[in-house]
Chains A and B, each alone.
Chain A
Amino acid sequence: MLEKALTGSNKYWGWIAVLLAFMAAGALSYVQQYNYGLGMTGMSRDVSWGIYIAQFTFLVGVAASGVMVVLPYYLHNYKIFGKITILGEFLAVAAVSMCLLFIMADLGQPTRALNVLLHPTPGSILFWDMIVLNVYLFLNIFVGWVVLTAEKKEVAPPKWIKPFIYISIPWAVSIHTVTAFLYAGLPGRHFWLTAILAPRFLASAFAAGPALLILLCLIIKRVTKFDAGQEAIQKLVTIVTYAALINVFFILLEFFTSYYSNIPGHMHTLDYLFFGLHGHSQLVPWMRVSAIFGIVAIVMFLIPAARKREDTLAIACVLLFVSFWIDKGIGLVIGGFVPSPLEEITAYYPSFQEIMITLGIWATGFFILTVLFKIALSVKEEKMIS
């Protein structure tokens, strides 16, 4: 079926060309970084993880959100999602691929990456993250491909694929829980040391991921003959709304615990992020924009007229996606390192190469997504014609 990605309109090839350009630029920047060292980024002794790990953390969530279409369709026979489960699965493939690329880009010694396999360390959460992410990638590629092939041949998917589908559902939850565990088990980082981190991650993921899926469906409707259907989209909107509301609730819970207990260690990072701390307020505009975007998006989702019109729906999805991307990426990951264990504040600014590599990996993810979606949609379009 791969050959379906090799034929397309001029717009398709134009888009591929743009993506390849960004990928090439990113690759060039990576060569520079590989030769110089990670010092080419804005990371420092105090802020030792930056936007690479921030993107990784956010994208694990996007990948996990595939379960929001798979679960209703396969476990509860919710036929409305039947047309788009493949899109959810392929989105997960693209997202997990990006996660793995971001980790590789962030490693100080990437050629030694296999040490994680050669010296298994079950006590380390990173070991488990490596396992669950790679298995999830395999599950989604495998299930997506088999089900799509069956659809192409106009037969029901084979029975033996069912166990893999059923496993992928709790597995989706596990990838993001394990990623949250990376942060939530570290004794020295009070901003992360909260039991609610995993639920927060999941809520944010189940809002941002389906929001992206809605956007993709709206774009697909304009560039292909495929229409996911008003009902499916509106059901996704419902899921996004509830998940976003829960995420906002969780954030407010964090604010309550920190500020009502008035414990300095608990308040400091929130101070730094939202109000500025000791004169350092570099991230405050970002967090406030995130808050505003999030609130506006949720309000738009709650107004029926706004969520039913495709243009306002698209805007709301973009606002929500950006809001949660800032909150999880910049707020959570960078915030966790400020103040440092020695109560010092070090600013972090991504460097030019760092940004180019980040864009290059996002372009790679969208490249994978485009190719996979092209294949899936070609299969569906052929069926529509026949």
Chain B
Amino acid sequence: MDIKRRQFLKVAGLSTIAGLGAPAAFNLLLKGGPDTVSYASSGGEAEASHEAAPTGVRLGMVIDQRVFDANKGLAQKCTTACHTVHNVPNFGNKKDEIKWIFEVPFEKAFTGKSQYHKNKNLEDSSFLVLCNHCDNPPCVRACPTKATFKRKDGIVAMDYHRCIGCRFCMAACPYGMRSFNWRDPRPFIDQKTHNKEFPTRMRGVVEKCNFCVDRLARGQQPACVEACGNTGAMTFGDLNDSHSEIVKLLDNNFTIQRKPSLGTNPSVFYIV
């Protein structure tokens, strides 16, 4: 190859790389970097995020375990309501199971608390556990594609179309609240109760409780809260609104949270 051709190819190669790379670099600089990437969402979550809850809203939940203890079948109603409304599949085996909200005994929900000489009530208590929608979520930090992200109203949401299924968020969650679609979930959704208003997922993506962001957009309460009726077992609302029912409950009752020492700052509280 003579020198002139070599020179030409070198210049051509470098300019192609520069030409392809420059717009991308420009974009990144102008947009100010990854923090300003707009949050793509799927299904019903899109409308809610554009409506942008008024600044300073932080959604949270108080679970009054005393009510659940007094109404033994109530927790089951909550999990059924949630899994029905969100088309959570039932694979029939524990390995592949997906669960957004479920019951566990005290020592599994609150692993850091003393189990010695527990209150007798706690011995056959079962606690509802769900995504805590942490203010400082390790799962959001872990996600390499921002498929899971924190909204301004505090909800930690999932974009099922962005998720690459690496399951790093599942490793990161200190509460074990995330599930993965190890198979195609669609054949395993109960057709009789299929909710056409909420998207079904595809295999290979992670999912979890979304604080019923789709129902909130329609002015409804989360499904689990609604299933409690007016028992007061679950209260949902704005933790930043000092006049809200939830804040009054928190002001007047001693509550505990799951693994608070990890600094995740969960939004779910329990009155035990």
| A residues adjacent to B (C-beta < 8 A) | 36-39, 42-46, 48-49, 103, 106-110, 112-113, 115-116, 118-127, 130, 182-183, 186-189, 265, 336-337, 340-344, 346
A342 touching B138 by the CB < 8 A rule?
Answer: no
Q: Which of B34, B143, B202 contacts A120 (CB 8 A)?
A: B34
Query: Given A341-B176, A343-B108, A116–B145 Cβ distance below 8 Å?
Result: yes
Cα of A236 to Cα of B189 in the assembled complex, Å: 58
Are B145 and A119 touching (Cβ within 8 A)? Answer: yes
How extensive is the interface on chain B, given as a class?
Answer: 35 or more
- Does B203 sit within 8 A of A, measured CB to CB? yes
Q: Which residues of A contact B91 (CB under 8 A)?
A: 39
**A341 lies within 8 A of B174 (CB):** yes
Whether A108 contacts B174 in the complex (CB less than 8 A), given A37-B204, A120-B34, A124-B142, comes out as no
Which segment, of B47-55, B93-101, B246-254, faces chain A?
B93-101
Within the complex, the shortest CB–CB distance from B238 to chain A, in Å, comes to 26
Contact of A48 among B34, B94, B147, B170 (CB under 8 A): B170
- Taking the complex as formed, is B172 at the interface, i.e. its CB lies under 8 A from any CB of chain A? yes
- Interface of chain B: mostly helix, strand, loop or mixed: loop
For residue A265, which residues in chain B have a CB less than 8 angstroms away from its CB?
A: 111
B175 CB within 8 Å of chain A: yes
Say if the beta carbon of B167 comes within 8 Å of chain A: yes
Residue from B144, B170, B176, B183 in contact with A39 in the complex, judged by beta carbons closer than 8 Å: B183
Contact assessment for A43 and B182 in the assembled complex, using a CB-CB cutoff below 8 Å: yes
A65 to chain B, nearest CB (A): 25
Q: A39-B96, A45-B96, A109-B202 known; 12 other A-B pairs, CB under 8 Å?
A: A43-B95, A44-B96, A115-B144, A124-B143, A126-B142, A127-B144, A130-B144, A186-B171, A187-B262, A187-B263, A342-B129, A344-B108
Q: Separation in Å of the A302 CB from the closest CB of chain B?
A: 38
Q: Are A115 and B162 in contact (CB under 8 A)?
A: yes
Which residues of chain B have C-beta atoms less than 8 A from A188's C-beta? Answer: 138, 172-176, 259, 262
* B217 proximal to A (CB < 8 A): no
The docked-state distance in angstroms from the alpha carbon of A311 to that of B170 is 45
CA distance A122 to B97 in the complex (A): 32
Residues of B within 8 A of A43 (CB): 95, 182
Contact status of A107 and B204, CB under 8 A, knowing A37-B181, A342-B108, A343-B107: yes
CB < 8 Å neighbour of A121 from B145, B171, B176, B205: B145
User: Please, could you name 5 A-B residue pairs with CB atoms under 8 Å apart, sorted by A?
Assistant: A43-B182, A44-B95, A110-B165, A119-B162, A342-B129
Is B104 touching A108 in the complex (CB atoms < 8 A)? no
Question: Taking the nearest CB of chain A, how far is it from the CB of B121, in angstroms?
Answer: 20
Q: Is the CB of B171 within 8 A of A112?
A: no
Residues of chain B lying within 8 A (CB to CB) of residue A182 = 168
Which residues between 169 and 206 of chain B lie within 8 Å of chain A, taking CB atoms?
170-176, 179-184, 202-206
Taken together as a complex, chains A and B put the C-alpha atoms of A307 and B238 apart, in Å, by 69
Q: Is there contact, CB below 8 Å, between B203 and A113?
A: no
**In-complex Cβ contact of A187 among B98, B164, B174 (8 A):** B174
B137 to chain A, nearest CB (A): 10
- In the complex, the answer to whether A108 meets B205 with C-beta atoms within 8 Å is yes
Which residue from chain B places its CB closest to the CB of A103 in the assembled complex?
A: B166
Residue pair A116, B167 in contact (C-beta under 8 Å) = no
Contacts of B28 in A (CB 8 A): 120
**Residue of B with least CB distance to A38:** B182
Are A45 and B144 closer than 8 Å at their CB atoms? Answer: no
Interface residues of B in 58-105 (CB under 8 A from A): 91, 94-99, 104
Closest 8 CB pairs of A and B: A108-B165, A188-B174, A108-B204, A39-B182, A341-B176, A126-B144, A39-B183, A37-B183
Known contacts A38-B204, A188-B173; A109 and B144 CB within 8 A of each other = no
- The CA-CA distance from A337 to B172 in the complex, in Å, is 11
| A344 CA to B105 CA, complexed, in Å | 11
Find out whether the CB atom of B108 lies under 8 angstroms from the CB atom of A48: no
Do residues B163 and A109 form an inter-chain contact, with CB atoms below 8 A? yes
CB distance from A37 to the nearest CB of B (A): 4
> What's the Cα separation between A187 and B204 when bound, in Å?
25
Is B109 in contact with chain A by the CB < 8 A criterion? yes
Give the complex CA separation of A183 and B172 in angstroms: 9
Min CB gap A375→B, angstroms: 22
- B110 to nearest A CB, angstroms? 10
List A contacts of B255 (CB < 8 A).
none
